[in-house]
Structure 1
Amino acid sequence: MKEPMVDTYEQLKWWRMSYIEQVKYDHMKLNEFHDELITKTVKVAIENVTSEWGPPPAHFAFFMMGSAGRFEQALWSDQDHGLVFFSTDGRERDYFLKLGKEISLALECVGYVRCDGLVMASSERWCKSLLAWKAQIQEWMEEESFETLRHLLTFFDSRVFIGNPSLLDELKEVIFLNLNEKPTLIQRFYDNVERRKKAIGVFGQLLVESYGPHKNVIHLKNTVLFPYVNSLRLLALQEKITAPETLVRFEQLPDEMTEIKMLSAVFARLLQFRLRFQEIEQSYETIHLLRVDKLTSNEKQELKGYIRSGARLYKLTKKHIDKGCGMK
């Protein structure tokens, strides 16, 4: 795709609005567009900060997390990102926090809503020197609380968009070293993500919200996609796979994990399936809400197949994790 000649957030917003119509039904093309739009937006943010505060004072990496990190964004998406920079004394911290705030503003202007949980480079938790990041990751893993492990799992789905990818690889290596010393920690990760709402009833019916503003709705991302995303994240942690993309994680699993690897094709179809129903949605708040009463009989059966395969993947993942921890 040809990069637009733009130098303002407003121009980038209009480019998004005009071009996304051409790619909204193709998962790969849609996410390639998101990648290019985010990269261009962050470059303009860096130029704006440079014009006022001078160039970045140290080597750094800007990375995306969440669906952007996994190359799994829908038509609309929120922000999940961070900054890591090289520093020996932390003096560069104020500069990169300014940059993080400008990036958050820039992405919001272009159409990516701010993260409710403040998982953004504008927050001190997600904008740190390499040494401070290592200390924080170590602290998260030692505390082992639900919140700190959630932060860690969020971080692990990260991918560098601008800067040196080796900075991020070095941070992920801290996680792997901890897992080498304490392999049973992976079971705590599983407990952190295993909680999920049941989607199919005892009579084979789809379980939807029965009341409220989202009546007759299934949350497609949380209920249907996340069993695949969560499982492959856990397997990537156990197998020391740094790639954040779920499809790439499937591909990089050991050959002997055939039963799990075969579900990669199911997940790829699921990523395409969800795009069929997003055309009328105009906001991030509703993009993942699927109206079951609007589906055909065939579409309902297809959806049930994705749900059942996700549940099976969870069980296979648990079996592999237990085996890796020395349990039967």
Structure 2
Amino acid sequence: MRDYESIKVWKNRNVVNVLNDTTALNKFHDEVMLKVLEVAKKKLTQQPPCAFAWFITGSGGRFEQGVISDQDHGIVYEYSTIQNDEYFQALGEEVSFGLDAVGYPFCTGKIMSSNSLWRKSFENWEQQLIDWMESGSWEVIRYLQIFYDARVLEGNVNFINKLKNTIYNYQLQHPELLRRLVENIKHVKNVITPMGRIIVEQHGIYQGCINIKYAAFLPYVNSIRLLSIEEGIYETSTIDRIRKLQEKRKYEELLHNGECHFEKLLNYRLSIDNIQEYDNTHYLNIKKLSKDERRELKNIIKNGKRLHDLVIEMTLEKKGV
């Protein structure tokens, strides 16, 4: 495709074909974003001067995007020179502009290739990860987890795997990193009352809804990511991570229904209708669910909270942190 407008038209025409299948929807998002990257590269008129990897992260990296998604992406390139730095700065800025033009809003947290924090040579990325781990502030520990969800869309996958290996090896030598990761994820929004009722939004445009991102998804996503960092698992989707973890006998009982519950959560999010903007993808109207669906959702949320608490407890106990 020649320009961003033609990609946007194609995207809007074809997205209706994948609205009922999370896997198909995420493959579609990948295809759209790769089309944007190709147009961005052509606009620069020169070929990339060295090997690189363009990655997406967040829900895109985990292959868990909804119908509407914002941008979360970065670049790792082979080595730093003035020419390379200038080229990938231009590419990062152009691809961020292009993604916004076709319908992926700019990330409010600036997790984009246009931001030098998320666009570096391999060596500088490696040093930045070490700096983040040694600093241990709440913000950079959050960045570390975001990076661990990175999935390469184009380029050298080994760059990302080697960088994730840096994180894995560091935590083996410095178990206090796991304590800081726990501190970053330990708070979970409780939406189930002691009497078993689901707490919904009481006012505003989301009245009668729950935010399933914070109430349901994050307990699964964060706890499974924590285990993956501990075990050196580099897969990015929560379901793939669960499958890899279940290959280890010690996690079989803990995760025996995790994959099933998470797949159902993805399907519940697909059921959200009238989505006009990114925030809408997180709010599920409980009144539109049947009695059995409400019971099932409540069970999934409870089990996610239980899994989250057990993983944190296990991590702190076995590492003595």
What interval of TM-score do these two structures reach, taking the shorter chain for normalisation?
A: over 0.9
1:48 counterpart residue number: 43
**Stretches of 4+ moved more than 6 A in 1?**
none
Q: Within 5 Å, which residues of 2 pair with 1:122-201?
A: 122-201=114-193
| 1:80-99 pair list within 5 angstroms | 80-89=72-81, 91-99=83-91
CA offsets per residue over residues 125-181 of structure 1, 9 Å max, x none? 001111111111011000111011001111110000011011111211111121011
Q: Is 1:76 the counterpart of 2:68 in the alignment?
A: yes
For the residues of structure 2 that align with 1:318 and 1:193, how far apart are their CA atoms?
9
- Counterpart of 2:50 in structure 1: which amino acid? A
Task: Provide Cα deviations, 1:197-245, integer angstroms capped at 9, x if missing partner.
Answer: 1110111111122234433221111211111110110000000001111
The CA distance in 2 between the partners of 1:292 and 1:235, in whole Å, is: 31
Counterparts of 2:7 and 2:81, CA distance in 1 = 36
Unaligned runs of 5+ in 2: none
TM-score between both structures, scaled by the size of structure 2: 0.95
Counterpart code for 1:196:
V
Residues 253-272 of structure 1: pairs in structure 2 closer than 5 A: 253=245, 254-262=248-256, 263-272=258-267
Aligned residues of 1:179 and 1:185 also touching (Cα < 8 A) = yes
Correspondence for 2:212: 220
Corresponding residue to 1:109 among 101, 104, 108: 101
Equivalent of residue 23 in structure 1, options 11, 18, 25? 18
3-state SS in 2 of match to 1:261: coil
Letter in 1 for 2:300: Y
Q: What is the DSSP-based 3-state SS (H/G/I as helix, E as strand, rest coil) of the residue aligned with 1:139?
A: helix
Would you say the 8 A contact 2:233–2:244 is kept in 1? yes
- Paired residues of 2:188 and 2:305 also in contact (CA < 8 A): no
Q: Which residue in 1 is equivalent to 2:294? A: 300
| Whole-angstrom distance in 2 between the partners of 1:111 and 1:88 | 32
CA distance in 1: counterparts of 2:276 and 2:215, whole angstroms: 21
Aligned counterpart in structure 2 of residue 310 of structure 1, from 283, 296, 304: 304
Deviation at 1:280, TM superposition (A): 1.3
Q: Residue 282 in 1 paired to residue 276 in 2?
A: yes
TM-score (norm 1): 0.93
Q: Is the 8 A contact 1:64 1:80 kept in 2?
A: yes
Q: Which runs of 5+ in 1 are unaligned?
A: 1-5
Counterparts of 1:323 and 1:221, CA distance in 2: 28
Write the letter of the residue equivalent to 2:13.
S
Q: Give distance in 2, aligned partners of 1:313 and 1:90.
A: 48
**Backbone CA RMSD of aligned residues:** 1.5
Aligned in 2, Cα 1:178/1:90: closer, same or farther, shift over 3 Å?
farther
- How many residue pairs were aligned? 318
* Partner amino acid, structure 1, of 2:253: E
1:14 correspondence with 2:9: yes
Q: 1:40 offset after TM fit, Å? A: 1.9
